[in-house]
Amino acid sequence: MRQTLEAMRLGVVPDTDLSAYTVGREMELELVAEDLKRVREEGGAVRAFLGDYGAGKTHLLELIREGALNQGFVTARVMLNPEETAPSHPKRVYRELVRSLEYPDLAGQTALGLRPLLERACQDEDTLDAFQVTSSGRAREELDDGAHLYLTPALRYYRAIAHAQKNPGRRLIADEIDDDEREEALTLLFHWLEGHPTISNTEIDDELRGLVGRQGRIYSMKDYRPWARIYGYLLSGLSRLCTTAGYEGLVVLVDEAEFYSLLSSANREYARNLFKALAYASVGDDGMVPFSREELDLGGMGILQDLPPRYHDESGLYTIFAMTPNAEGIEALQRAIPDEVITEIGRLEMDTYRQLVGRVTDHYRQARQDAEIPDAVEQALAKVVAGLLHSGFVENPRQAMKFIVEFLDLATTRREAMPEVIADLREMYL
């Protein structure tokens, strides 16, 4: 609780105790609940939330993340920026999403990557069959039967290295690998699959094959701007892997999508392709997306060119975009997803801010049990916040939350000064 209080004091979004300051978002959460039901029943969903700076978009995404985990979904989140996670470079976005994966059965553990998912998948024969892990056909034939170009060989190599299991007709030498070699091989495998900078796919292929024999081909994973379709195929494959392994699906949260407007004209085009690829990977060609499948036919050569933008019709992928409204960004979203799933986060009403005062004050009392906050102080604070909202000094929930905590700090440490403080506030803002 103290950690949450410190975040409130700084005016940033805490990542725990979300109920302590969540007010007025019933409508948005109802929409998300309907979307998650659609993911379970129809195989995917997509949505965008628009809201001014400080209106609560990041808080809403955190609330969605927490709720999705509680319902059995795996979650991933990326905060876009023009450099490290530019939407014009899909591999960088993919890498951050994979790095941020959280699992409902591993609550509180972060930065786990894909290893827990592959480990869980290797324990389930139905999952291995669905991804053609135990087959031994040619790559193109296996893709027709349900194999995934990246995940199937990754699962095969993981089984061979971590569990000393082989595919039919293939030699097994994994039991001769010592622990250091085994961990080095797994690190190499996951660096490739998670999109980290590493040696070439050909060198990875040679290294892994030399340890456990050939388990499939390791294909390239490039930081090429036209590869949005390929990374959409990867994400929908990961989501399908989640569902077959017993999770409800994968919830992908894309925050600060407004950074699209800071890109050059050429990079904006590639960013639009990423938005489209994520939408298509989530809902496919069900008449919902406002573009044609052919618009994603960019990137890759040979078998990579043949990869669909969505791995499976029931991938279980739910993508949510959050954006501060701007003309260029909204236009990009409208080209990727239908208007009916673009939702504006409304401004909170005065009564809702009064609820916020009560929630934050209650949390403050619990976090600092040595502090005495009389009901009269809470009532006065509600009036002060109302006045600050009316004057425009406080414009959004984040600013209000920060002010409430600072006011309570003053009320508990310098109680004798409170009458003068309230008088000054009345004169300045009320």
Rounded distance between C-alpha atoms, residue 94 and residue 370, angstroms: 46
pLDDT at 275 over 70: yes
* Dist CA 200 CA 198 (whole Å): 7
pLDDT at 68 over 80: yes
Instruction: Return the pLDDT at 410.
Output: 78
Q: What is the band of 190 on the pLDDT scale with cuts at 50, 70, 90? A: very high
Choice between 421 and 297, residue whose per-residue pLDDT is larger: 297
Q: What is the mean pLDDT of residues 214-218?
A: 92
Instruction: Pick the closest to residue 320 from 243, 242, 249, 221 (CA basis).
Output: 249
Give the per-residue pLDDT at 75.
98
Distances (CA, A) of 2 to 6, 151, 365, 374: 6, 42, 11, 20
Note whether 389 and 54 are within 8 A (CB). no
Q: Report residue 255 CA to chain centroid gap.
A: 8
| Identity at 388, one-letter amino acid code | L
What pLDDT is recorded for position 171? 46
Cα 39 from Cα 251, distance rounded (Å): 10
Domain spans, the chain: 25-115+222-344, 350-429
**Helical residues (DSSP H) of 300-396, grouped into ranges:** 327-336, 350-367, 375-391
**Within its chain, how far is the Cα of 313 from the centroid?**
21
Given the candidates 3.40.50.300, 3.10.20.340, 3.30.310.50, 1.20.1630.10, the CATH classification of the domain at 25-115+222-344 is 3.40.50.300
pLDDT value of residue 8: 66
Could you give the strand order of the β-sheet that contains 74-79, starting from the edge strand earlier in sequence?
74-79, 250-255, 317-323, 44-50, 342-344
The 10s digit of each residue's pLDDT in 329-348 is 999 999 999 999 999 987 77
Rounded mean pLDDT, 111-134: 95
| Type of residue at 301 | M
Instruction: Tell me what the mean pLDDT of segment 268-272 comes to.
Output: 95
**Average pLDDT over every residue of 254-271:** 90
pLDDT band per the 50, 70, 90 thresholds, residue 168? very low
Confidence (pLDDT) at 422 = 64
Indicate the pLDDT class of residue 170, thresholds 50, 70 and 90.
Answer: very low
- Token duo for residue 235: 């994400």
State the chain's mean pLDDT as an integer: 87
Are 398 and 357 in contact by the 8 Å Cβ rule? The answer is: no
Q: What's the average model confidence in pLDDT over 251-265?
A: 90
H or E stretch covering 251: strand 250-255
Convert the pLDDT of each residue in 21-34 to its tens digit: 677 788 899 999 99
270 has pLDDT over 70: yes
For residue 80, give both structure tokens. 């876009």
Is residue 71 packed enough to be buried (19+ CB in 10 Å), middle (13-18) or exposed (0-12)?
A: middle
Task: Give the tokens for residue 180.
Answer: 């250091």
* 268-272, long-range: CB < 8 A, 24+ apart: 268/88, 268/328, 268/332, 270/87, 270/88, 270/89, 270/90, 270/225, 270/226, 270/228, 271/86, 271/87, 271/88, 271/332, 272/332, 272/335, 272/336
281 band by pLDDT with thresholds 50, 70 and 90: very high
288: nearest Cα among 89, 58, 47: 47
Structure tokens at 226: 């036209």
